[in-house]
Structure 1
Amino acid sequence: MVPGEREEAAADRRESLSLFDRAPGGEAPEGDAEGVPDGTGGEVRRRRRTRRVLVWTLAVLFALVAGGIGSAYWTVDHYASSVDRIPGAFPTTPADRQPQAVPDSGTTFLLVGLDARSDVATTGADAEAPAWKAGAQRSDTMMVLHVSADRKSAALISIARDTWVDVPGHGKAKINAAYSWGGPALMVETVQNLTGVRIDHVAVIDWNGFRALTDAVGGVDITIPRTIEGRGEARQWDAGTHHMNGEQALLYVRERYGLPNGDLDRSKRQQNFLRALMIQTMDAGTLGNPARLTGLLKAVGDVMSVDDRLSNTDLYDLAWSLRGLRPDGVRFMNAPFGGFDSVDGQSVVLLDRAAAKTLWDAVRTDRMTAYLAEHGTTSDTLGESVS
């Protein structure tokens, strides 16, 4: 191979460094996995694989938004079936009283994070009920995940759990109360009313389950820019890069008492963890290790439930459409912060309504790339340095 051809071939390989580089039929180009010339006419040989590609998003999935896994075709249905489905996840209010879907404007998920799922889901029994019991739990985390129509970018927007909002049928309250009172359907209605964005799908995530997910990928690397002294029940975190196992990562994302901005900083930690998990999931050391791969697939089913509008085929098709998405195409942010307040003795978070309207309009009309070009350096956007 002459130098020019060698450079072109190398560039082609860089272009195809995708975990999802398989044709829909599941076969890869002929040749070996390393792309080493086989000496026969200068052709590059790659091992023929007759396996389908299974791609999981957490958010991940968003956390696994860009994660992909190669497996046998039957594995797709097997592991997709392990993801619990939530019936009745959407409001029953008339369609004309809900935000109207904008054609060709991408897909929007509501991600609800809990510290524990319902007893049905945590016992290990067949869980066909939604991960919710009336009054039993409040959502710990709410995130709006918008994936662009061209599937080249995604934005994950956290809404602080103490955000003061109108909850339909209940008046003013903290947004996390909506889940306790009415489960996913009331939470969806509350978020739609707040944002004016139509929610296409729902995923309920068990934060406790992220312990197994983190361990399944071999842990994650998280850098803490400055030492944070222990305060009360909060542990001390020393400055530097920490390779965290599942238990340590769970402490990291749950903690808020040692952070200057409480839940706002906590949501940034959660986003920082999801970013690290996404990067680690895409690492060859994870995807090339059969034991890790199996553990990862199993953990995904243990860690989340999705609305029953998402069939196994829908999950696969959605994941396949995200095969070109990369970590640097996923942006994390908080909903624009408008200040803290106290209402009837409760500490609450207020949104900057004007700034939030600009953000939600960008989500609704699939203009997040333009929005981030203008607003991507605000304190609401997750940077590289996270306390």
Structure 2
Amino acid sequence: MEQLGQEPPPPSATTYRAGRRGRRGADRAAGTGRRPRRWLRRILPALLVVVVLLVAGAAALYLWAGGQVRHVPAIGTYPGRPAAGAGTNWLLVGSDSRAGLTAQQRKELHVGNDGGRNTDTVMVLHTGVHGPSLVSLPRDSYVPVPGHGRRKINEAYADGGPQLLTRTVEQATGLRIERYAEVNFLGLVQVVDALGGVRICPEKPLKDARSGADFRAGCQHVDGRQGLAYARARYSDPQGDLGRVKRQRQLMAAVADRMLGTGMLLHPSRPVPVARTTLAAIRVDDGAGMRQLWDLGWSMRKITGGAGRAVTVPVARPGVSVSGAGDVLLWDTPRARLLFQALRRDDPIPTSVTN
């Protein structure tokens, strides 16, 4: 028996070794032994090297891509230009330019030889604290085009190029446009093909001889030519241009989702060709670079994932016939004003303008 106030004798060597063996056995039984830790110490340096190489490769790709960005003078100043609001506004344009298309490609894409100077797609992407909002402005919207009177909004591009289109949108919406991005027919086809195709999900069968669209209802994988046909179809759609803008949004969101999805990372050979094709297809304003394009892509992907809103400007009367202009769309001015006021203030879009 130990005496009070006396320290216990130190353990013997035999007792110490037995204790260590007992603890190792318990560690092995619990899965916490030293052998896994030694294995981890060996693998960590290799993992660190892999991470460093991936980061270095991503940085090199980012720097290279920055030098490939193509610019166009799209944003100018003029008297009475709307003041800057909260958040950032992009003008996204799909040009119907036939530049670079061979006769065979025109036939395959069902675009013909006419036109080629208007815009098939006009959208405003607003980014702010409430997430991104994408607003489609139908190409047949009847609005004032500075210096040309009231015309369809898509004709502003033909009348004065990107700067006149930007000014037209600013004055029609009251929003200041800070960023601009444009892609043409051929560029869209090439981007979708470089991605290995994208996934679309029509709610109803869609067949349109003039665009070449022929789709069953439900989700399906499409290539670039099919994607373009899907986005351009309108003549067989009872909603006409209003139905087309919905499909345009769906296609753009599908491209962004595919481009920034995990599948891209699982194909190490794909990012460079995709980046090269995309940067060759797109033109942005003089102040935009890779960071802005990256933000644009993520905003579109958020909309795909439900973290944003996608709407069409409220229309009062579709299919109104105007002498010299043909069938046009007239905006519902009070509701459109509420929509653009919300974007200018970076407020959530009121449900009253989307119903």
Query: What TM bracket, shorter-length normalisation?
Result: 0.7 to 0.9
In the alignment, which residue of structure 1 is the partner of 2:127?
Answer: 147
Pairing 1:209–2:194 present: no
Over 3 Å counting, the alpha-carbon distance change for 1:323 and 1:47 in structure 2 is: farther
Over 3 Å counting, the alpha-carbon distance change for 1:291 and 1:258 in structure 2 is: farther
Instruction: Please point out which of 60, 82, 87 is paired with 1:74.
Output: 60
Q: CA deviation digits over 1:133-168, x for unaligned, max 9?
A: xx96111111001111x4x61111110111101111
Q: Could you tell me which amino acid in structure 2 is paired with residue 73 of structure 1? A: A
Q: What is the correspondence of 1:101-140 to structure 2 with a 5 Å cutoff?
A: 101-102=84-85, 105-116=86-97, 137-140=117-120
Q: CA deviation digits over 1:272-311, x for unaligned, max 9?
A: 1122222222332222212221222112112210011124
Instruction: Please point out which of 41, 49, 52 is paired with 1:50.
Output: 52
1:188 Cα deviation after fit? 1.0
Over 3 Å counting, the alpha-carbon distance change for 1:237 and 1:193 in structure 2 is: same
Q: Could you tell me which amino acid in structure 1 is paired with residue 329 of structure 2? A: V
Q: Could you tell me which amino acid in structure 1 is paired with residue 342 of structure 2? A: A
In the alignment, which residue of structure 2 is the partner of 1:98?
Answer: 81
Structure 2 unmatched runs, 5+: 1-34, 103-114
In the alignment, which residue of structure 1 is the partner of 2:316?
Answer: 338
Instruction: Please point out which of 295, 300, 315 is paired with 2:292.
Output: 315
**2:234–2:240 Cα contact (<8 Å) kept:** yes
Q: Could you tell me which amino acid in structure 2 is paired with residue 315 of structure 1? A: Q
The 10-residue stretch of structure 1 (202-211 or 243-252) with the greater mean CA deviation from structure 2: 202-211
Q: What is the correspondence of 1:151-166 to structure 2 with a 5 Å cutoff?
A: 153-166=131-144
1:191 Cα deviation after fit? 0.6
Aligned residue for 2:310, secondary structure, equals strand
Instruction: Please point out which of 218, 224, 244 is paired with 1:266.
Output: 244
Aligned residue for 2:243, secondary structure, equals helix
1:80 Cα deviation after fit? 2.3
Over 3 Å counting, the alpha-carbon distance change for 1:304 and 1:363 in structure 2 is: same
Q: Could you tell me how far apart the structure 2 residues matched to 1:161 and 1:230 are? A: 18
**1:230–1:237 Cα contact (<8 Å) kept:** no
**1:281–1:287 Cα contact (<8 Å) kept:** no
In the alignment, which residue of structure 2 is the partner of 1:288?
Answer: 266
Q: CA deviation digits over 1:333-387, x for unaligned, max 9?
A: 11111112111051001111111101101111111xx325x34863xxxxxxxxx
**1:335–1:351 Cα contact (<8 Å) kept:** yes
Over 3 Å counting, the alpha-carbon distance change for 1:79 and 1:169 in structure 2 is: same
Over 3 Å counting, the alpha-carbon distance change for 1:266 and 1:136 in structure 2 is: closer
Q: CA deviation digits over 1:84-123, x for unaligned, max 9?
A: 1113x223313xx111113xx211111111122756x99x
Q: Could you tell me how far apart the structure 2 residues matched to 1:262 and 1:248 are? A: 19
Q: Could you tell me how far apart the structure 2 residues matched to 1:238 and 1:142 are? A: 27
**1:80–1:301 Cα contact (<8 Å) kept:** no
1:316 Cα deviation after fit? 7.2
In the alignment, which residue of structure 1 is the partner of 2:327?
Answer: 347
Aligned residue for 2:150, secondary structure, equals strand
Q: Could you tell me how far apart the structure 2 residues matched to 1:267 and 1:302 are? A: 24
**1:217–1:296 Cα contact (<8 Å) kept:** yes
**1:76–1:316 Cα contact (<8 Å) kept:** no
**1:208–1:250 Cα contact (<8 Å) kept:** no
Q: Could you tell me which amino acid in structure 2 is paired with residue 116 of structure 1? A: S
Instruction: Please point out which of 194, 198, 210 is paired with 2:172.
Output: 194
Aligned residue for 2:37, secondary structure, equals coil
**2:181–2:284 Cα contact (<8 Å) kept:** yes
Over 3 Å counting, the alpha-carbon distance change for 1:376 and 1:308 in structure 2 is: same
Instruction: Please point out which of 320, 334, 346 is paired with 1:366.
Output: 346
Over 3 Å counting, the alpha-carbon distance change for 1:188 and 1:47 in structure 2 is: same
Aligned residue for 1:240, secondary structure, equals coil
**2:89–2:178 Cα contact (<8 Å) kept:** yes
Q: Could you tell me how far apart the structure 1 residues matched to 2:158 and 2:82 are? A: 23
The 10-residue stretch of structure 1 (320-329 or 205-214) with the greater mean CA deviation from structure 2: 320-329
TM-score (norm 1): 0.69
**1:153–1:330 Cα contact (<8 Å) kept:** yes
Q: Could you tell me how far apart the structure 2 residues matched to 1:303 and 1:86 are? A: 13
Q: Could you tell me how far apart the structure 1 residues matched to 2:146 and 2:311 are? A: 26
Over 3 Å counting, the alpha-carbon distance change for 1:52 and 1:324 in structure 2 is: farther
Q: Could you tell me how far apart the structure 1 residues matched to 2:296 and 2:53 are? A: 16
Over 3 Å counting, the alpha-carbon distance change for 1:235 and 1:250 in structure 2 is: closer
Aligned residue for 2:253, secondary structure, equals helix
Q: Could you tell me how far apart the structure 1 residues matched to 2:143 and 2:267 are? A: 46
- Aligned positions, number: 301
Q: Could you tell me how far apart the structure 2 residues matched to 1:364 and 1:316 are? A: 22
Taking only aligned residues, the RMSD between alpha carbons, in angstroms, comes to: 3.2
1:205 Cα deviation after fit? 1.5
